[in-house]
Structure formats: C-alpha cells, structure tokens
Amino acid sequence: MNFQGFDEHKYNDRSLLAFLGQQESQNIAWGDAYTTELLDYFRDGQVLTGAKLPWSKTHDLIRFRPGEVTVHSGMNGHRKSMVCGQIMEWFALWGEPCGIMSFEMPIRDTQKRMCQQAAGSYHPGPGFIRDWSQWNHQNLAYFDKLDTVPSGRVLGAVYFMAEAMGCKHILIDSLTKCGLPYGERGAEKEFIDALCATAKAFQIHIHLICHVRKPEKRGEEYVPGKFDVRGAGELTDLVHNVIIHWADKKKLALQQLRKANKPLSPQDMDYIEKRPDQRFVVAKQRNGEFEGVIGLAFGEGLQFNEGRQLPFEIPRSGGQAA
C-alpha cells in the first residue's frame, strides 16, 4: 500500500488498522523465536554468503547476496562500467546467469570488451571469440536499447530477465539513462525503492551504476566517497552496498612516460611499483563488516586481476585465447 497520500482520518479507522495488522501478523513475533539464530550468530559470527568477486582476496571481505541492490559509482573515465562487466561474466562463469542493461554502449562493444577480459588478451583468436559467444547462451543476457529508457520499461526488463531468463544478477548502466526527471529527488527515491522491492521479490541482486558529482576544485586524484554519489540523498541510504571505482590516473601517466623512455624520479618509480592500478572501494556494506580499499591490477586485455591473469574456463572447440 502506498502511504504517500497519508490520510490521518483514514488511518484512525480501527477496523482498517485491524485489517492491515492482520496482514502483517505473520511478520511479527516475540523475540525468543529467534533464540537459535542468535546463539548461532554468537558462536559462528557473521558468515559471508553470496556471489564472489573474481579476485580471491575479496572473498572474505564482501559478497553479493540475493535480494540486495548495490550502487557502483565513480568519476567519468574511471572504468566503473569496465569493472562491472568483468564482474558480471565471472558471476556467470561460476553459475549465476547475469543480465546486462547498458544504455550507453552497443552490445557489440560491450561484448568485445568482456571477451577481451575473459581471454586476458586485446586480440583473442577467432576460436576463442566463437566459444565465448556461444557460452553467452543461458549465461549472459543483454537488453538491446541505447539512450534514455523510461523507468517503467527498465523495471519490466529487470522482471523479464529475472523471471523468464533466470538471471541472478542484473547490471543497469546507468541511473541517468533510466528516464527519471532531472533533479526530481522523489522520482529517484521511488525508482530505487522499486529496485529494492524487485530484488527482494525475485531474489536477485541488482547492480546500479551511478555517476558522482563533479568535485569542486579537485582533480582526478580525488577519491570520491558515498556522499559524492549524484542523485537523491536517500539513494545510498536505501541500497545495501556502495562501491566506488577509482583509477590511478597519476600512475597511468607515469607509466606512459616510462614507456616513452622519459626520465622519472626515484619517487615516481616507487609510486609505479607500489600503487595499485585500480581501487575497488567498499564505501558501504550493510550486511558485512568490511569497508575499505581493495587494490587491483589492470592487466592485458582490459582484465582486472591481482597481478597475474585470471583463467576463464569455458567449453572449448579447439580455438586458442590469443
């Protein structure tokens, strides 16, 4: 029931309140009903469940469970869509089909990048490309629509991907393309509420890419936080997790200078050797204890890894990755 148009006289009606109370009675119990669960929690602590990220060092830090919504955010050019694409195909590789709704990039371009990441090569061979494309069947679904899409159609596509196609994770890229009136905080809040309700109803995990506000008097070196996410203030309050994606542009510039045989100071060389290429910042995790920075390497074929190429084992017809 929608309480936005709250009518105090209507809700002073005891018979109506009794009816509403009866509808919710199955969700209400005395606290002793949870004794076993409480004892288990004290004994075992919080047990992480849910889908694992591609990187083993994250498996005890954060997971992505059914019924939740995660916001992925970051500045333009900081690879948030690229990271999320790799995450989706690894979820699918490990048995959880994913739906991808990219309103800013044609499916062909999205698939090209993800195929490169899977191969760990900028130039995968024709055999690998064919095998990877065939593997997409019943693993990766795509919504073929560019530019702004009305929010109702977005929710309809989420429903179809979850209910008809069995997708367990759905990536929406991005909130700004979901047909919401610019600056309408109420509309954004309602849409996020709808995503949270949909994730819970269908026991899926929805990943929503959002932009950040342009930092005032700050450049690429600034690492945004959850309060920098563009949109209604309630946006990050309503979702379960907030991830900030940040690429070290200073390191990239230094690497390019080194590649061009330009002289670098010892401090610059030390910066290159010790700093991660990419930061995966867990800015909020409602059902987990960890919040902090996870460093990633940016390797061959646009693949994010922990310093060595990640394998992507799919049925092969004999073609090589590169």
pLDDT digits (tens, 9 = 90+) for 117-164: 999 999 999 999 999 999 999 999 999 999 999 999 999 999 999 999
The rounded distance, in Å, linking the Cα atoms of 316 and 126 is: 12
Distance CA 79, CA 85 (A): 10
CA atoms of 3 and 191, how far apart (whole Å): 16
pLDDT > 70? residue 34:
yes
Q: How many CA atoms lie within 13 A of 238 on its CB side?
A: 20
Confidence band, pLDDT 50/70/90 cuts, at residue 9? low
Domain for residue 201, yes or no? yes
Q: Is the pLDDT score of 232 beyond 80?
A: no
In a domain, 141, yes or no: yes
Whether residue 19 lies inside any domain: the answer is no
Euclidean distance between CA atoms 260 and 168, whole angstroms: 45
Does 2 reside within a domain? no
76-119 residue pLDDT tens: 999 999 999 999 999 999 999 999 999 999 999 999 999 999 99
- Highest mean pLDDT among 22-26, 40-44, 65-69, 285-289 belongs to 65-69
pLDDT of residue 3: 42
Q: Are 215 and 224 in contact (CB under 8 A)?
A: yes
Its sign, for the CA torsion 81, 87, 90, 95, is negative
CATH number at residue 228: 3.40.50.300
Bond into 15 cis (ω within 30): no
Has residue 12 been placed in a domain?
Answer: no
Establish if 294 belongs to a structural domain.
Answer: yes
In a domain, 272, yes or no: no
pLDDT reading at 5 higher than 70: no
- What integer is the mean pLDDT of 260-288? 97
**Residue 256 domain-assigned (yes or no):** no
Give the range of the structural domain holding residue 231, as residue numbers without chain letter.
56-247+279-305
User: How many domains, in total, are found in the chain?
Assistant: 1
Question: Taking residues 171-176, what's their average pLDDT?
Answer: 97
